[in-house]
Amino acid sequence: SLDGKHRFELLLALESGRIEGSSPAATLVAEGGRLRLRVEAASSYLPYRGLELEQLLRPAAREHLRRLERSSDPIQRRRQAALQPGLRSLAFLASERKLLAGSWRFLTYFGRDTLMTLLLLAPALTPEAIEAGLQSVLDRLSQEGEVAHEESLGDQAVLERLEGWARLAAEGKHAELARLASGPLAGPVYDYKMVDDDFMLPLLLVAYLEEHAVDEARARAFLARRSASGRSNLEAIAANLRFVLARAAPYAASGEVRDLIPLRAGLKVGDWRDSEEGLGFGQYAASVNAYLVPAALRATASLLRSRKLDVRALAAQLRRGRPALDGDLAARAGEAAARWGAARRHFRIRLTPEETRTRLEGYLRDGAPREERHLLFTMLGRNQLFAGGRHSSQAELPLLGAGAVFDALALNADGSPVEVMHSDDGFDLLARVLPAAELDERLEKYEHYHPLGLRSLHGIFVASPALSRRAADYRTFDRSRYHGTVIWSWQLALLQRGLMRQLAHHQEFPSREALCRRLRVLLAELELAERRVGPLLASELWTLRVARGGYDFEAIAFGAGGHADESNALQLWSSVGLAVELERVRLRLSSAP
């Protein structure tokens, strides 16, 4: 290796066939129609030990899988078969030292992917599995409490360090160069550029401590454990909560857009969409400001009242070097959460019926591919906005009896909204119980078929530009874009888990039966959508195309042709279907026909 501390060996052996000629013009020739090579690779790095499903899944989850496998009901057997690819991916990507984000690409630690997978899968996971993932996040936390997005190891880390030192030398920054060069050459290099993952850690901590029956003795033992940096896990957690409170303080005090949390200076990425196009080139992501920051503050208040950790020690750690953090910290976090709850108003888009009709006309005229237009009119018919008949001309738009209400995807630097409908409020649905009136309004975009909403027969789109005022958004968020009018597996799971949380609460009130009926119908439709996409459900994302004959859409793998990227073969956070299945069983949701 570049630092001289590790060795690599590679053996290439010819087992069947022969070599003709000599290097560099040697040729491998098959014998008897067979050419067989054996490759052996070894290094002196410590190997990872994978976690078996018995270590990953709670007994109740494993027993449910066995029941599905033993069942003679073909629907139950199909469910079991549909879950297997995700479980194989989970077992392949989970190790005692960290969870890997995906393969073949991204076979590395991603902080956000780890946190979201653990949060979504928590009902199915053992405490050991959650602790393994949590520990990997805490080990990589910055001194200030930021969650690492990604890491570089071994020779890759050496190369990045050498490049950085060369830049400092060229810029004449010799003092800084001397300070950095005194450190290790081959230690890990962590990337802290993402914004959203910092606010996901408190949510997972609450899920681990409060929601999934971890006993007090186990919790305290885990919190006392030392992280890789030498500080206790409790100290690392305090650093993250301190960071959350500090980042949230300006907006909590002013309520002004200028004090929302933007992408980091000089960067055009920051949330799970992970590209400037994914946010429509906006600066303030709704996922962060409208949903995750308020949720993180509520989680902080909950942790500061938890009986499963030493809240006095936690509060003392929070106050270290922060004299402004005095008084009842739990109460302060709760007050900040309430003030941040109003941040969503900056993202609210309300369109009149006439505005909605005008924007739909623009999208169907200029944005939708010509071969899709008649199908999109069919979808508008499924929204029951006109009485029957097939529509093939953009002039035959329905008369809308109501406008449209949704949250913008992001805000631009000047505070103006990126008026693209999206599914990121799944974070909000999972993190808190919404008031009945607010939930009633939120459901509409998931009940309406695209282009009026986000619904399709093959899942929920993560974005739709159909009601945007900017024609440029039609291309930025079309079916060929990684975060456009496409369906992501983990976002579909996030939405279902969030809807199930709402149902579990609101069904306790007889007066809300109509609302609960809508929730059950939507959940049944999403289950049907999962069946329609079949094996694609285990992939990262999929998109749609017009099926042969032109009478409907069909789901295809993203990257099949003409797309900006491709779906990753195995993805950690696409392995969460078992938790959705277990929640269906717990809530006794009837199986879709």
For the residues 494-519, what does the mean pLDDT come to? 97
**Mind listing the pLDDT tens digit for each residue in 565-584?**
788 888 999 999 999 999 99
Assess contact for 406 and 421: CB atoms under 8 A: yes
Query: Is the predicted pLDDT of residue 387 greater than 50, yes or no?
Result: no
pLDDT of residue 393: 42
Assess contact for 532 and 492: CB atoms under 8 A: no
pLDDT of residue 32: 86
> If you write DSSP's letter for every residue of 405-463 in order, what string do you get?
EEE-SEE-TTS-EE--EESTTHHHHHHSPPPHHHHHHHTHHHHSBTTTSSEETTEE-SE
**Mind listing the pLDDT tens digit for each residue in 86-111?**
999 999 999 999 999 998 888 899 99
Assess contact for 413 and 258: CB atoms under 8 A: no
Average model confidence (pLDDT) for the chain?
A: 91
Assess contact for 20 and 26: CB atoms under 8 A: yes
């008949």: which residue's tokens? 389
**Mind listing the pLDDT tens digit for each residue in 422-459?**
999 999 999 999 999 999 999 999 999 999 999 999 99
Residue type, 118: L
Strand, helix or coil at 270?
A: coil
Query: Which of the residue ranges 383-392, 519-528, 560-569 would you say has the lowest mean pLDDT?
Result: 383-392
CA atoms within 13 A on the CB side of 182: 5
Cis peptide before 451 (omega within 30 of 0): yes
Report how far residue 471's alpha carbon sits from residue 300's, in angstroms, rounded to the nearest whole number.
41
pLDDT of residue 248: 97
pTM (2 decimals)?
0.92
Q: What H or E segment, with its residue span, contains residue 202?
A: helix 201-206
- pLDDT band, residue 323 (cuts 50/70/90): low
Listed residue (106, 347, 306, 61) closest to 206, CA to CA: 306
Report how far residue 574's alpha carbon sits from residue 558's, in angstroms, rounded to the nearest whole number.
14
DSSP state of 341: G
pLDDT of residue 193: 95
**Mind listing the pLDDT tens digit for each residue in 156-207?**
999 999 999 999 999 999 999 999 888 888 889 999 999 999 999 999 999 9
The token pair that represents 568 in the structure block: 């990753």
Query: Is the predicted pLDDT of residue 401 greater than 80, yes or no?
Result: no
Q: How far is CA 394 from CA 373, 376, 377, 397, 591, in A?
A: 8, 10, 8, 6, 38
Angle at 310 between CA 228 and CA 320, to 5 degrees: 65
Report how far residue 472's alpha carbon sits from residue 560's, in angstroms, rounded to the nearest whole number.
24
Query: Which of the residue ranges 221-225, 331-335, 379-383 would you say has the lowest mean pLDDT?
Result: 379-383
Q: How far is CA 248 from CA 138, 190, 300, 303, in A?
A: 21, 24, 12, 17
How far from chain centre, in Å, is Cα 92? Answer: 19
């186990």: which residue's tokens? 218
DSSP state of 495: H
> If you write DSSP's letter for every residue of 100-156 in order, what string do you get?
--EESS--S-BHHHHHHHHHHHGGGB-HHHHHHHHHHHHHT--TT-PPP-EEE-HHH
**Mind listing the pLDDT tens digit for each residue in 36-52?**
999 999 999 888 899 98
> How crowded is residue 576: how many other Cβ atoms within 10 Å of its Cβ?
27
Report how far residue 142's alpha carbon sits from residue 140's, in angstroms, rounded to the nearest whole number.
6
- pLDDT band, residue 478 (cuts 50/70/90): very high
**SS3 letters across 20-38:** ECCCCCCEEECECCECEEE
Query: Is the predicted pLDDT of residue 585 greater than 50, yes or no?
Result: yes
Assess contact for 121 and 576: CB atoms under 8 A: yes
For the residues 476-495, what does the mean pLDDT come to? 95
Assess contact for 364 and 376: CB atoms under 8 A: yes
Report how far residue 346's alpha carbon sits from residue 283's, in angstroms, rounded to the nearest whole number.
13
CA atoms within 13 A on the CB side of 570: 20
pLDDT of residue 186: 85
